[in-house]
Structure 1
Amino acid sequence: MSILGNVQRVLALFAAGATDLSFTEAATQLDLPKSSTSHLLNQMARYGLLDQHPATRRYRPGALLGQAAHAAYASSALDDACREVLERLSARSGLTAYLSTLSGHETVVLQRLNGHFPVQVLSSPGSRRDATGTAMGRALLSRLSEPERTALFGTDAAAPLPPTSQSGFARVGELAQCLADVAQARHAVVVDGAMPGIGAIAAAVRSPLDGELRGLCISFVSGLQADPAHLEGWRRLVQEEVGALGRRIGDPFWRAVPVAA
């Protein structure tokens, strides 16, 4: 059996209820030679999959596994909370609502809910777009820390943006000012930007547990639906729903923020 197969067998012992294991217990239950068991357990401990008690010498699940499980649970809980908000955004606006995350310079659609308007703006889950040119992307980028944003765009405000950028800005400094304005407003609005005829209003939350970013937006056909009254109502709706979500998950960005500015 491969090393990964044996790693899976060790982890299965803990999944079945064992809280810790001695070397002898592991060798017996795995039915492996002692030399193979020793090498396996030592390697798993070396890479953080197991911890060994310094006094009893018994093995237990490693800190790395706990961190991975915690991150998976936190991300799952965050996405569940986001989906509830997505449903309300779509139901209350009648528009297509999106849940997305950030991957480098791009947004990635995680989920889409169609509204009840006869004309909808549709992008499939998994779709990617340049983050600089969309409301969703700008909302997500505005939540990055300074080191994270520097890693993407550098520190030279006069530097040209990457050729793939669809922001409409020529320089990094122009984009940085736009993102600062989005952070101040706590939402982004783009109408007839990188996608002519399309508009969107977006805001983002960030988990205080693991730093996971999620953006939520509603999207509309600008020529048919983007009159001032609708835009103002949708803007307030996004701020209200996403802000409430941010406060619920403990996102410091959304604490003590009015329902709508």
Structure 2
Amino acid sequence: MSILETSAQILQLMTSLQRGIRVNDFINHIQMPKSTASRVVNQLVQYGYLEKDDAQGHFMPGALLLGAAHIARQQVPLNERVDAALRSLCERTCCTGYISLLDNREILVLRVIHGRHALPMVTWPGSRSPACGTLTGRALLARLSEDEIDEFFASAPVATQLNGVHQSEDSIRRLIQQTRERGYATAINESVTDTASVSCAVGDPATHEAVAFCLSLPQSLAHPEEIVRLAGLLRDAARLIARKTGDMRVTETL
């Protein structure tokens, strides 16, 4: 195996484990001989790909990797990464795609990518909806901590919003927890009549941004197998974006 392939394995292992790595990790996870692991790691440290944390005894990304990652994040904003991924998914699935964010406890639609399936109604950019009553809201709320969720529901605007939705706070909390466990949210004939949707959320820790992106299709086509397929496609896209932005909230759960 070439030094390049060995180095790639080591960096992929670090990404997979989402922590600093030790030489024993190479031996245990990728069956690399200790002598080979030590030699390659020393070379990666020498060239700036890794640096050693002497206090913890493990290796972390070095200045060269961190600098390149910083440039990459600056060059491609989160919205553009999600837009590119969603356009590809819409082309593959014929679904309509939406990109939304959480703004003042409401969901604000940023972009719409029209698919080939005819929907009974399309939600346009600039539209707002109660976050607690939409699947994209649940996808974004699932990223919050329990304390943040409590603060969200304790706010006066949300109390007002709850009067206009057909679900209780407890049922919405259960749906948020389900979304957190699955990594995606689903809705069939919920806020939009005769429409089914699947949504994931992803963020950029460097800018503290997070957006939800979803695929929508006619309810008549939303067979259980199709919902599972779309959810898998969205989760794969979210994982890929998260690896590029360093969003550990996605990589830890999906």
The answer to whether TM tops 0.5 is yes
Q: Distance in 1 between matches of 2:74 and 2:134?
A: 27
Amino acid at match of 1:195: V
1:207 maps onto 2:209 in alignment: no
Deviations 1:119-164 (A, max 9, x none): 4651111111111222111101111233432332129xxxxx7242
Residue 173 (structure 2) pairs with residue 184 (structure 1): no
Matched with 1:168 is: 166
String of CA shifts for 1:60-96, please: whole Å, max 9, x gaps.
xxxxxxxxxx9xx859611111111121121111110
Deviates more, 1:93-102 or 1:131-140: 131-140
Give secondary structure in 2 for the equivalent of 1:162: helix
Provide the alpha-carbon RMSD of the alignment: 2.6
Paired residue for 1:87?
A: 87
Partner of 1:33: none
Cα drift, residue 256 of structure 1? 5.5
Corresponding residue for residue 233 of structure 1:
229
Q: Percent identity?
A: 24
2:210 and 2:179 mapped to 1: Cα distance? 16
Q: Is the 8 A contact 1:111 1:125 kept in 2?
A: yes
Query: Relative to 1, partners in 2 of residues 1:148 and 1:84: Cα closer, same or farther, differing over 3 Å?
Result: same
Q: Which residue of 2 aligns with 1:252?
A: 248
User: In structure 2, how many angstroms separate the alpha carbons of the residues matched to 1:91 and 1:112?
Assistant: 13
User: Secondary structure of 2:159's match?
Assistant: coil
Q: Deviations over 1:94-137 (max 9, x none)?
A: 11001110012211111111112244651111111111222111
Q: How does 1:85-124 map to 2 (within 5 A)?
A: 85-119=85-119, 121-124=121-124
Partner secondary structure for residue 195 of structure 1? coil
Residue 148 (1) aligns with residue 148 (2): yes
Between the aligned partners of 1:197 and 1:125, the Cα distance in structure 2 is 20
Between Structure 1 and Structure 2, the one with more helix by share is: 2
Q: Given residue 230 of structure 1, which amino acid in structure 2 is its aligned partner?
A: E
* Alignment match, 1:196: 193
Which residue identity is paired with 1:106? E
Larger Rg: 1
Which amino acid in structure 2 is aligned with residue 168 of structure 1?
A: H
CA distance in 2, matches of 1:153, 1:145: 13
Aligned length: 181
Q: Cα deviations across residues 204-238 of structure 1 (Å, max 9, x unaligned)?
A: 0121112211100011121x211223222111111
Q: Are the aligned partners of 2:131 and 2:138 in contact in 1 as well (CA < 8 Å)?
A: yes
Q: What amino acid does structure 2 have at the position aligned with 1:81?
A: R
When normalised by structure 2's length, the TM-score is 0.64
Distance 1:118 1:88 in 2: 18
TM-score for the superposition, normalised by structure 1: 0.62
Q: Secondary structure at the match of 1:184?
A: helix
Show CA shifts across 1:11-41 (max 9, x none): xxxxxxxxxxxxxxxxxxxxxxxxxxxxxxx
Q: 1:120 to 1:196 in 2, by over 3 A?
A: closer
In structure 2, stretches of 5+ residues that fail to align are 1-69
